[in-house]
Each structure stands twice: as structure tokens, then as C-alpha cells.
Structure 1
Amino acid sequence: MNTDSENYYDYDGLLKRAISQLPEEVFKDVRFEIPHAESFVEGNRTIIKNFRDIAKAINRDVQFFAKYVMKELGTAGDVEGQRLILQGKFGNYMINSKIKNFVEEYVLCPECGKPDTKIVKEGRIHFLKCMACGAMKPIKLI
């Protein structure tokens, strides 16, 4: 006996319908790699040549990203064109480790590990919201 209610609750049919409504990014199996900073020391300053490109690759605001890096390194600096100019001498390893920490805290989803996230504000709280799986994690702004 096949009734309308049995067809309505057909598991395979509901599953196919749910999968068809997911965004295409969920099914892409592209491995996300954190871009490496190209930096050099000039006098008493450290210059990251590809800073704006890194910010674009991780899909974050350049000023927000720069503020984090400067705070973590305990220094001042300015974004000029493509570059971030920092006061003081910092090694490439130290800069890349701070960028990696930023990506883990403010870019990658804590549930699915994908970089398809946005920072959204609800009330007075900021969240890292994943566009792939829908997870939300409260974050502290810098």
C-alpha cells in the first residue's frame, strides 16, 4: 500500500532534494593553502611585499589583517600599496607563523575546516560563519 505520506517522507528523495540545494563550493575538493609571505629586512624595517595578495587569498580586510599581524608582533606599521611595512626586524618564519595563526583563528571553519567563512555581527557579538556548512563560532575582534 503506497500512500502520499510515504512518498512525502521518502528518505532518498529528501536526501537528493537537500543535496541539490547546497552550494557548489561544498562539493569542491580543492585543498586550501596559506600563501607564504615574501618579506625582507631593510634597515630597521621589515617589508612584506605580497601582503595585500595574502589578504585577498584569505578573503579578509587588509586593515583588519594588518592590525592582527602588528599586534601579534608587538610593533607598528603601515599598509602601502601591496606591501605591509613593519617597524623592526622580523624573520620570515615568525611572520608566516603569525599569518598561519590568523588563518586558523579568523578564516578556517572550526567544524569542516574550509576557508569559506565570513565575519558577521549579531547584536554585539562577532561570529565566524561558514558558508559551506553553516557553523558559527564566536570570535574576539582585534
Structure 2
Amino acid sequence: MENKIYYDYDTLLKRAFSQLPEEVFKDIRFEVPLADSIVEGNRTVIKNFRDIAKVINRDIQFFAKYIMRELGTAGNVEGQRLILQGKFNNYLINSKIKDFIEEYVLCEECGKPDTKIIKEGRLHFLKCMACGAIKPIKLI
């Protein structure tokens, strides 16, 4: 007669979890870099603006337009940078970026950043590719 070893479910589950890499258990996969800004005279330069737009997967002009509207100023994108007319501190810039992400990037239902802005007729929606939720949004 053969000797068979039977494992209970909990033992097998613990064994499976112990063999997974640590990265699997990390909850944070969406990290937006903080704005790297400096004031030059009467202008504020966000040096890593294009990198931030790339991480949040949004059109750089749309993103820049939002930031300029929220700060009540004019500006333009030059290469990696966004140049704003006026003096703005890093805290204010980062809070406006956070507001943009909450309104135009993160899904309201599941909280994931896997969203796209889609147009149906004259209306625009934020559609989540992870859970399928759709939320109407106002374009800038």
C-alpha cells in the first residue's frame, strides 16, 4: 500500500503565498511623481511636466490647459517643461495635479487609474477599462 500525504487547504494556501514575490502584495502601483518646479523671475517652470502626463496617461495639452485654468494663468509646454506666467509654490501645483488625477484619471468606482476619456455625441465620459464604470465629465 502506498503512503500518500494529504494536505489541508490552509496548509496549501500558506505554501502558495510563501512562494509569491513580495511585489504582488504591494497595493501601490500608481505613483505620480511630484512636480519639480522652480520660480525663475516672474515665471514658474515645472521641469518634469511631460513625465507626469505620461504616468497619468493623459494628453499633455489637455493636462496643461487644466493646470493653467486652475491656477488662473497663461503658459505653454516646451519640451519636458510647462512654463507658467506667475509665481506658484510647489504645494499649490501638486494640489492642482492631485485634483486633476481625482477628476480625470482615477475611476470613481474601483479607484484604478486604467481609464480613458471617450466621446459619445457631444458628451465626454471617463471610462474605466478595469471595471467598466462610466462617469460623465466636463472637458476644459
Q: TM exceeds 0.5?
A: yes
Displacement of 1:34: 2.3
Aligned partners of 2:33 and 2:59: how far apart in 1? 16
The structure, 1 or 2, with the larger RCO (C-alpha pairs under 8 Å, 6+ apart) is 1
Q: What fraction of aligned residue pairs are identical, expressed as a percent?
A: 83
Corresponding residue to 2:87 among 75, 86, 89? 89
Aligned partners of 1:30 and 1:87: how far apart in 2? 34
Aligned partners of 2:120 and 2:100: how far apart in 1? 22
- Give 3-state SS (helix, strand or coil) of 1:111's partner: coil
Displacement of 1:30: 4.5
Aligned partners of 1:34 and 1:82: how far apart in 2? 16
Aligned partners of 2:95 and 2:65: how far apart in 1? 15
- Give 3-state SS (helix, strand or coil) of 1:129's partner: strand
Aligned to 1:11: none
- Rg bigger for which structure? 2
- Give 3-state SS (helix, strand or coil) of 1:133's partner: coil
Aligned to 2:30: 32
Aligned to 1:109: 107
Aligned partners of 2:27 and 2:114: how far apart in 1? 13
Aligned partners of 2:27 and 2:35: how far apart in 1? 25
Amino acid at match of 2:40: E
Aligned to 1:46: 44
Displacement of 1:139: 0.0
Aligned partners of 1:118 and 1:98: how far apart in 2? 20
Aligned partners of 2:30 and 2:53: how far apart in 1? 14
Aligned to 1:123: 121
Amino acid at match of 1:117: T
Output the TM-score relative to the length of structure 2: 0.80
Deviation >2 Å, runs of 4+: 28-31
Aligned to 1:9: none
Per-residue CA distance 1:77-129 (angstroms, 9 max, x = gap): 00000000000000000000000000000000000000000000011110000
Aligned partners of 2:88 and 2:104: how far apart in 1? 22
Note the residue ranges of structure 1 that are not aligned, 5 or more in a row.
Answer: 1-27
**Paired residues, what number?**
115
Aligned partners of 2:73 and 2:93: how far apart in 1? 12
Amino acid at match of 2:35: A
Aligned partners of 2:135 and 2:64: how far apart in 1? 22
- Give 3-state SS (helix, strand or coil) of 1:103's partner: helix
Note the residue ranges of structure 2 that are not aligned, 5 or more in a row.
Answer: 1-25
